[in-house]
Amino acid sequence: MSDKNEVEVLPLRAFKDNYIWVLRNRRYAAIVDPGDAQPVLDFLQHEQLELCAILATHHHADHVGGIAALLARQRVPVFGPRGEPISTLTHPVGEGDTAAIPQLGLRFRVLDIPGHTRAHIAYYGADSLFCGDTLFACGCGRLFEGTPPQMVNSLTKLAALPDETLVYSGHEYTMANIGFALEVEPDNEELKARAARDAQTRKDGRPTLPSTIGREKKTNPFLRCREPAVIASANKYLGARASDPVQVFAAIRQWKNAY
Ligand SMILES: [Zn+2]
């Protein structure tokens, strides 16, 4: 996030492993995916901040469950996917739309990234990506409502963002994801180095997020379905000879579900 307008991004923990992301300056805060209102209300009060916007990435309760309680305290714009049933949205948005937060001097471009849910969106701006449950550190969301081709398209779209883009995902799943990624690519040196680094980060009690698009491209098997090592592992799992990225993706997604 640029320091020009002194906006800081920080996580609030919710439930078992959710992150509610807060974008704040000295006076205002915008909240991404408030599955629970209480940690947000506590934070706003503690920091003496005024809520100015809510951004939702998809309709799952652990991402939107706290919105109504936040709005009961204060009416603010609520951005979220046009194609999903979220009753609290005031600004339904989709691909190409903008989510503007003037109080923070921020504008995000909305990207359609279906797959985890049927109309999941991401917010991209200020060198940052808020991508909910689509792209995780070293992993990706389960396909609850979408298909492998949709998810591959969505992940390809995110992988095309600049390498330095900061990736803010909705859950701290990193170490479990890295464990699986090492099964797929046991010889990936970048991945092994990342495993050691992120294990230390967790040991220190810190979030492994944000990641970056560049780091994900080097270590996340779901973004590496064209890599020979990933193709070979997928085929070993399948007992087949697939090379199409969608087939490779579907194989490692299925493998991970059973892992
Ligand atoms: Zn979800």
The predicted-structure confidence for 83-94, as pLDDT tens digits, reads as follows 999 999 999 999
pLDDT given at position 66? 98
- Residues having C-beta closer than 5 Å to ion ligand 1: 60, 133
pLDDT higher than threshold 90 for residue 139:
yes
CA of 144 to the centre of ligand 1 (A): 8
- Two tokens, residue 156: 């390809």
CA dihedral for 7, 23, 120, 88, sign (positive or negative): negative
pLDDT higher than threshold 90 for residue 215:
yes
pLDDT given at position 170? 97
pLDDT higher than threshold 90 for residue 240:
no
pLDDT higher than threshold 90 for residue 4:
no
Please report which confidence band the pLDDT of residue 206 belongs to, taking 50, 70 and 90 as the band edges: very high
pLDDT higher than threshold 80 for residue 218:
yes
pLDDT given at position 137? 98
Q: Is the Cβ–Cβ distance between 32 and 23 less than 8 Å?
A: yes
Q: What is the mean pLDDT of the chain?
A: 96
pLDDT given at position 1? 55
Q: Active-site residue numbers? A: 58, 60, 62-63, 116, 133, 171
Mean pLDDT within 215-224: 98
pLDDT given at position 5? 60
H-helix segments, the chain:
38-47, 61-64, 67-73, 148-159, 174-184, 189-203, 213-219, 228-238, 245-258
pLDDT higher than threshold 80 for residue 2:
no
CA of 4 to the centre of ligand 1 (A): 32
pLDDT given at position 151? 98
Taking alpha carbons only, the member of 144, 178, 1, 138 closest to residue 63 is 144
Q: What is the pLDDT of residues 159-204, one digit of tens each?
A: 999 999 999 999 999 999 999 999 999 999 999 999 999 999 999 9
CA of 41 to the centre of ligand 1 (A): 22
Please report which confidence band the pLDDT of residue 3 belongs to, taking 50, 70 and 90 as the band edges: very low
CA of 173 to the centre of ligand 1 (A): 13
pLDDT higher than threshold 90 for residue 49:
yes
Q: How many CB atoms lie within 10 A of CB 38?
A: 12
Q: What is the pLDDT of residues 101-138, one digit of tens each?
A: 999 999 999 999 999 999 999 999 999 999 999 999 99
Q: Which residue has the tokens 């090492």?
A: 182
